[in-house]
A and B are shown apart, each in its own frame.
Chain A
Amino acid sequence: MDKKPFEYAPAPESRALVSIKPQYGLFINGSWVEPLFKEKFATINPANEEVLSKISQAGKSDVDRAVKAARDAYTKTWSKMPAKERGKYLFRIARIMQERAREFAVLESLDNGKPIRESRDVDVPLAAAHFFYHAGWADKLDYAGLGNSPKPHGVVGQIIPWNFPVLMLAWKIAPALATGNTVVLKPAETTPLTALLFAEVCQQAELPAGVVNIITGDGVTGSTLVNHPGVDKIAFTGSTEVGKLIARSIAVTGKSATLELGGKAANIVFEDAAIDQAVEGIVNGIFFNQGHVCCAGSRLIIQENIHDEVLEKLKRRMALIRVGDPLDKNTDLGAINSAAQLAKIKELSTAGDAEGAFRWSPECELPKKGFWFAPTIFTGVTQSHRIAREEIFGPVLSILTFRTPQEAIEKANNTPYGLSAGIWSEKGSRILWASKELKAGVIWANTFNKFDPASPFGGYKESGWGREGGRHGLAAYLKGAK
């Protein structure tokens, strides 16, 4: 740790191919409309606090308009169209997203703060792949094993988070349209820009008006959408706290819902693991996307006899993490998405100090403006510590140890969450045993944070209801399927 990493010359991606309007209306019934509710709010670049644009806060009457447009499109157009043609619109969307991939990536990094390397190589290609994958399902639903001639719900209200804005949009919209639903989608208030760019993609694809409607706003808009009587089904990705509110509210209205919620994933390193690979996986597990990942490997559980060795290598590796300008192609760790999220990360880290865990971060210079947090690990963490129980949603790793494989499983499962888990071991039978014992919806063995449209994603326990992706993800958008 005495040597600084190589000096790299700045390698910023150009902003030139992105044009951001000074302000945006709502995308309803195929065109841009001014909101009836006149309030606007700013969306900023979290890396430097520059105001990027003014966004409309959709009010109740705006939600009404969007739901009505989606209903009309469903009854008059979308539900009558042959499935094969419906699929072709999704193929078109996938292609246009590929064509405009760099634009999406730059805009995503500007609005979200994530490194361009990730938005360019992960978020946007995966988003396009989701449309491509689901496009092919549209006219094959009868063969999906989800009942005979399964039927869509109708109008789906979708609410997505700020951590993977365009990717979550694709996870939501692609299966909903492929199965024949129409959509009203609300992006997160801090990251609306790529969803608004997606509205242009819908126009270029000549998607029938009203099939996709995009309304912006905060939690009030979201709650109005959830409770709207014209919405048949809810799909939400976000916090477990809000997920429970939605579960209560639909208990009364009888809507169906899929929920993708929080996590506190265990990443277990057994003594026989390939340590160097495990260290790469640990870094990817917690520092990918600044740790703003519901399935992040935020609890590292190391077998006691290799704890010191793993820790030493992890620290050496962490010292090479480049924190800074999200648009720089060499950046590994970008900006924290918002002041509120930064405050939450700081609050929980302070609790880690106060409860007796030991904090360590590599030496790293953080930019003066914007929201930043250095990659951080805590050692000496016990299961009762808040940093072992609560989702931090930032670049903060809690390290625990175990002696026997049974103890590792017990610690890993000791959480109300159950979204994902990691296993590092070179022994096949141990991997299969551990993946059976872990109560989580996605298990990464000798890898971490991998996603694919063909691979179902979703959690056990309080991490949510249902799956997204793969054949299993279709069930969420078809009546009576599971």
Chain B
Amino acid sequence: MSRIDVKKTYKLFIGGQFPRSESGRTYEIKGANGKFIANPSLASRKDLRDSVTAAKSALPGWSAATAFNRGQILYRVAEIMQGRQEQFKSEILALEGGTAKAASTQVEEAIDLWVWYAGWCDKISTIAGATNPIAGPYYNFTTPEELGVVGIIAEQKASLLGLVAAIAPVIATGNTAVVIASEKRPLPAITLSEALATSDLPAGVLNILTGKVSELAPWMASHMEVDGMDVSGCDSKLETELRVLGAENLKRIHRFGKVPSPQRMLAFMESKTVWHPIGV
């Protein structure tokens, strides 16, 4: 008789822990071939709020970390992912179907994206900041700073690459985030959270929920401690609803294309300008 596999229970990632949904709910995930794969947690409003609290608590520490330190940690994520390459690949294959080569490429691109943004951490201020030549005896400079807590609804199709493309630029600059994973393909997101948990990333910097986007996203958009949102994973009808809800605290809400860019970092940064007189 052949050996029976030991299967994993897929759980949420909140404040560095792996809890089940407080609601006790789960939902069924089927593979590209229609067969049952797993019962991940169906996150609730309470889970979302707990995640925002965790992200908010992690913000002072993460935003005050040196850019060099953040870069080291993002690079570490790439290192850990490299070691788990096969696991990501098999999950992508099971969920998305397609060829083994396409799955491999997606994993490799995701890893390389972490490396790319790791290198950005201590450079974004150089290209986006300025000393401003004002007409008077003042020293005046502008620097970009983290926005705060960012809610992310990652792209739904490319279950790993879309996720990494959204979260790496957000945390590279010192933000913390709450992520709603791909609804039908959430497993690589959970596996990613296991990589994150062993990458020196402080607890709460990234929090990952699985569940229904249409249920969770409006709570995220109306949460007053969420400062910005990436709605790339929403359809336009839901996006409109989220923008209306997000207006209550003037959330910075953006949708992005597929190309990695410093714009993705700057979209969730605020420019601060400081003046000081010059004199003897």
A residues at B contact (CB < 8 Å): 129, 145, 147, 240, 243-244, 247-248, 250-252, 259, 261, 416, 431, 435, 440-447, 450, 452, 454-458, 460-462, 464-465, 467, 470-472, 480-482
Contacts and interface: CB of A to CB of B under 8 A. Distances in A.
Given A480-B263, A482-B263, A441 B270 contact: yes
A461 B133 CA distance: 27
A39 to B, nearest CB: 31
Interface stretch (B32-40, B151-159, B201-209, B248-256): B248-256
B273 A462 contact: no
A445 B140 CA distance: 10
A457 B273 CA distance: 7
Contacts of B127: 145
Given A251-B243, A251-B244, A470-B142, A435 B274 contact: yes
B140 A455 contact: yes
Given A445-B275, A458-B271, A470 B249 contact: no
A247 B245 CA distance: 10
A452 B134 contact: yes
Nearest to A475: B266
B68 interface: no
Given A446-B276, A447-B275, A455 B132 contact: yes
Contacts of B246: 247, 251
B275 A247 contact: no
B267 interface: yes
A198 to B, nearest CB: 22
Contacts of A444: 275
A455 B247 contact: no
B138 A450 contact: yes
A357 to B, nearest CB: 27
B272 interface: yes
A460 B270 contact: yes
A454 B244 contact: no
B132 A461 contact: no
A480 B135 CA distance: 30
Contacts of B270: 441, 460
A261 B250 CA distance: 11
B277 interface: yes
A482 B135 contact: no
B150 to A, nearest CB: 14
Contacts of A145: 127-128
B91 interface: no
Contacts of B274: 435, 442-443, 445
Place the interface of chain B in its size category.
Answer: 20 to 34
Contacts of A443: 272-275
B136 interface: yes
A457 B140 CA distance: 12
B227 interface: yes
A252 to B, nearest CB: 6
Contact of A244 (B133, B140, B142, B248): B248
Given A447-B138, A456-B142, A431 B249 contact: no
B65 interface: no
A447 B140 CA distance: 12
Given A435-B272, A447-B277, A455 B134 contact: yes
Given A435-B272, A456-B273, A457-B273, A470 B247 contact: no
Given A129-B135, A147-B263, A452-B135, 12 more contacts: A441-B270, A442-B274, A452-B132, A454-B132, A455-B142, A460-B272, A462-B249, A465-B250, A467-B271, A472-B142, A480-B263, A482-B263
B240 interface: yes
B273 A455 contact: yes
A446 B277 CA distance: 7
The 6 closest A-B pairs by CB, nearest first: A251-B243, A247-B247, A452-B134, A482-B266, A443-B274, A454-B132
A450 B244 contact: no
Contact of B240 (A247, A252, A416, A442): A252
24 contacts: A129-B135, A251-B240, A259-B250, A431-B276, A435-B272, A440-B272, A441-B272, A445-B276, A447-B276, A450-B136, A452-B132, A452-B140, A454-B133, A454-B134, A455-B140, A456-B130, A457-B273, A460-B270, A460-B272, A470-B132, A470-B273, A471-B130, A472-B130, A482-B266
B141 to A, nearest CB: 9
Interface string B229-267: 000000000001001101111101000000000010011
B132 A462 contact: no
Contacts of A244: 247-248, 250
A147 B261 CA distance: 10
A471 B135 CA distance: 15
A247 B244 CA distance: 7
Given A454-B133, A458-B271, A243 B250 contact: yes
A185 B227 CA distance: 30
A456 B250 contact: no
Given A454-B134, A455-B132, A248 B276 contact: no
Contacts of B130: 456, 470-472
A131 to B, nearest CB: 14
A442 B273 contact: yes
B271 A441 contact: yes
A432 to B, nearest CB: 8
A481 B138 CA distance: 28
A145 B261 CA distance: 12
B271 A456 contact: yes
A226 B127 CA distance: 33
B276 A456 contact: no
B38 to A, nearest CB: 36
A462 B267 CA distance: 16
Contacts of A454: 132-135, 140
- Best-buried of B252, B275, B277 by chain A (most CB within 10 Å): B275
A447 B276 CA distance: 7
